[in-house]
Amino acid sequence: MNYTLNQLQIFLKIVKTQSVTKASEELHLTQPAVSIQLKNFQEQFDIPLTEVVGRKIYITDFGHEIAEAAENIINQVHAINYKTLAYKGQMAGKLKISIVSTGKYVMPYFLSDFMKEHTGIELLMDVTNKSRVVESLENNEVDFALVSILPSKLNVEKLDLLQNKLYLVGNTDIIFEKVNQEESFFENLPLIFREKGSGTRQTMVSFFERNTISVLNKMELTSNEAVKQALIAGLGYSIMPLIGIKNELRNNELQIIPVKGLPITTNWSLIWLKGKKHSPVAKAILNYIEKEKSNIVHDRFDWYEKY
């Protein structure tokens, strides 16, 4: 046996994604490079690790056992690295955070200075929709989650970071005067929604239900970036978090349409399961954010506070 740590990591990623293509994307490698490493790894075993049916790759029972062993090996390597750093007096370990997609405009600013100071910490930040964020928290897969709507069925503790403001947004082809909550206005307005499971969608739907506004003409897109590009192109209008449209507002690509009842305000909150025993790294980052939150908001989000 002469397999490398790199081959173990690649094989483990293939097993987790069930796809060579997805594994290559997540590892930032070319698909041929991943395929070659998989082939070289497979050649070291007499029993198949994978099989291809049609164009889909399947992991054999033996392959799953090897993947489990590979994960244990990789974890042990990380543990060695962390112990080495800890012996030198440096903070080391993993920090796992799951954040809703629009949270990518928020969370990095609360982490950057801390991560620069503690280079031995490995940050794993999953950016996904609200449903998956809540699921990862419920399964205790992460240290923290960042949400703009608190999960109703989980007992959590929280630290509020920043107010979340959602406005009706469109491109600048037509300039709107002050708009009342008239059903006819929204009925004739092509509206763009995020996908089901998105916190932004949940907030947008709640606004229409709360104000008994009927929406007939709508489109659904699966990311905040996709919604922005659709708005800029003139495909419609949407209720969006202000935090994600800073540059588009400054470049006059998008405008906030003044509608009675908007903005909707919630809070960006860092949450964790009530009673969770934090690792030393998780405790340190939580203490840091609690101490520095006001300074970070002032330094990094000054533009945001003016709206």
Residue 188's pLDDT is 77
What is the 3-state secondary structure of the chain?
A: CCCCHHHHHHHHHHHHHCCHHHHHHHHCCCHHHHHHHHHHHHCCCCCCCEEEECCEEEECHHHHHHHHHHHHHHHHHHHHHHHHHHHCCCCCEEEEEEEEHHHHHCHHHHHHHHHHHCCCEEEEEEEECHHHHHHHHHCCCCCEEEECCCCCCCCEEEEEEEEEEEEEEEECCCCCCCECCCHHHHHCCCEEEECCCCHHHHHHHHHHHHCCCCCCCEEEECCHHHHHHHHHCCCCEEEEEHHHCHHHHHCCCEEEECECCCCEEEEEEEEEECCCCCCHHHHHHHHHHHHHHHHHHHHHCHHHHCC
Residue 107's pLDDT is 95
CATH number 3.40.50.10860 is the correct assignment for the domain at 91-162+267-305: no
Taking a C-beta distance cutoff of 8 angstroms, is the pair 78, 94 a contact? Answer: yes
Residue 192's pLDDT is 93
**pLDDT tens readout for residues 61-110:** 999 999 998 888 887 776 776 666 565 656 667 899 999 989 999 999 99
Architecture of domain 164-266: 3-Layer(aba) Sandwich (3.40)
Helix axes 61-87, 5-17, angle to 10 degrees: 120
Residue 181's pLDDT is 56
* CATH 3.40.190.10 placement within the chain: 91-162+267-305, 164-266
**pLDDT tens readout for residues 224-258:** 889 999 999 999 999 999 999 999 999 999 999 98
* CATH 1.10.10.10 placement within the chain: 5-86
* Mean per-residue pLDDT pooled into runs of 10, the chain (307 residues): 86 90 86 90 91 88 91 77 62 85 93 89 88 90 93 93 94 78 72 88 89 80 90 94 94 91 92 91 92 94 87
CATH topology (fold) of 5-86? Arc Repressor Mutant, subunit A (1.10.10)
Residue 259's pLDDT is 85
Residue 198's pLDDT is 86
Q: What is the pTM of this model?
A: 0.69
